[in-house]
Amino acid sequence: MIAKIKQLLEEVETLKAANAEELEALRIKYLSKKGAINDLMADFRNVAAEQKKEVGMRLNELKTKAQDRITALKEQFESQDNGCSEMDLTRSAYPVKLGTRHPLSIVRNEIIDIFGRLGFSIAEGPEIEDDWHVFSALNFAEDHPARDMQDTFFIESHPDILLRTHTSSVQTRVMEVSQPPIRIICPGRVYRNEAISYRAHCFFHQVEALYVDKNVSFTDLKQVLLLFAKEMFGADTKIRLRPSYFPFTEPSAEMDISCNICGGKGCPFCKHTGWVEILGCGMVDPNVLESNGIDSKIYSGYALGMGIERITNLKYQVKDLRMFSENDTRFLKEFEAAN
């Protein structure tokens, strides 16, 4: 890939155009969505982890030089068209650099794209929620620890109003107004009363999925999980499911993937186990279906949920969660090539 980047860089540095039409053709060839540079960026996900930094830097350099060269040629034609070489005082004093998507947005969009190809549509809901949609409709007992002030931000003057602790509340809102088949993903920000550190934050981001229809089985869930893991982390990725417990699913499981850093051989990131946990899942508990007006004798379903920060850590090996919310431009520039 580096050889291809060098070749394109040599081409870009010697770009010439006799007129505006030729210039536009060059822009399409190198900078359009289907251009050569964008194709390389799309292939960036396949680069080996140890080469990502160098390849990313070279891709950024290539993109910047191509933009600068196209802009310089454009300005040359514009000055010729105006018939004068006077300075244009309305122009910026320096080239305005393009921004970049946040790493969480990059991964969020990739997750949405994968599930979108499986027929899932996006559903969204409020971040300030009530107890029913966040807990009661999801089969949480009155004395469940998640209701405790240590985990949840409640509104002091309204004890039944809180900041949602998971995007499962969106699922309950969809189920109570819709009849199956239901096939949705629910991306969004959630809040929990935790101490901020390199491994935890008081707010983070989730994507949850829900599928309810006739004859939905755990086999359907497993196939979706396997496809997602291979699409997100590579065709060689393996998965394993471990029994777990969630109030709103039964049976429930946590899913691990083979460590994409060491290839499952064992490293400090996976604690030398070769496996990394990425999400929770299970079959929707019949009580949840009934609470939301869906006949559990006719319909069944599965649900799954994952933290976007967790997936982003696995893809880009970000060791401090606080980096995602501090808006350090030096950190954000590292993801220009991933856009």
Q: What is the pLDDT along the chain (339 residues), one digit of tens a residue?
A: 778 888 888 888 888 888 888 888 888 888 888 888 888 777 777 778 788 788 788 888 888 888 888 888 888 877 665 554 566 777 777 776 777 788 899 999 999 999 999 999 999 999 999 988 989 899 888 777 766 655 888 887 787 899 999 999 999 999 999 999 999 999 999 998 888 887 778 889 999 999 999 999 999 999 999 999 999 998 989 999 999 999 999 999 999 999 877 877 888 778 888 899 999 999 999 999 999 999 999 999 999 999 999 899 888 888 788 888 888 888 888 887 665
Report if residue 89 sits inside a domain: no
Report if residue 313 sits inside a domain: yes
Q: What pLDDT was estimated at residue 150?
A: 58
- Say if residue 34 is in the same domain as residue 165: no
Report if residue 41 sits inside a domain: yes
Report if residue 11 sits inside a domain: yes
Please say which residue of 82, 114, 135 terminates a domain: 82
Q: What pLDDT was estimated at residue 117?
A: 94
Please state whether the predicted TM-score (pTM) of the whole model is above 0.85: no
Q: What Rg, from alpha-carbon coordinates, does the chain have?
A: 25
Burial of 105 (0-12, 13-18, 19+ CB in 10 A): middle
- Say if residue 110 is in the same domain as residue 64: no
- Say if residue 212 is in the same domain as residue 132: yes
- In terms of C-beta distances under 8 Å and separation of at least 24 residues, what long-range contacts does 129-132 make, across chains too? 129/161, 129/162, 129/163, 129/164, 129/169, 130/160, 130/161, 130/162, 131/160, 131/161, 131/162, 132/160, 132/172
Report if residue 291 sits inside a domain: yes
Report if residue 96 sits inside a domain: no
Please say which residue of 27, 48, 82 terminates a domain: 82
Which residue segment(s) compose the domain that 160 sits in?
103-338
Report if residue 135 sits inside a domain: yes
Q: What pLDDT was estimated at residue 87?
A: 66
- Say if residue 57 is in the same domain as residue 124: no
* Amino acid (1-letter code) at residue 35: G
Structurally, how many domains does the chain consist of?
Answer: 2
User: How far is it, in rounded angstroms, from Cα 328 to Cα 234?
Assistant: 29
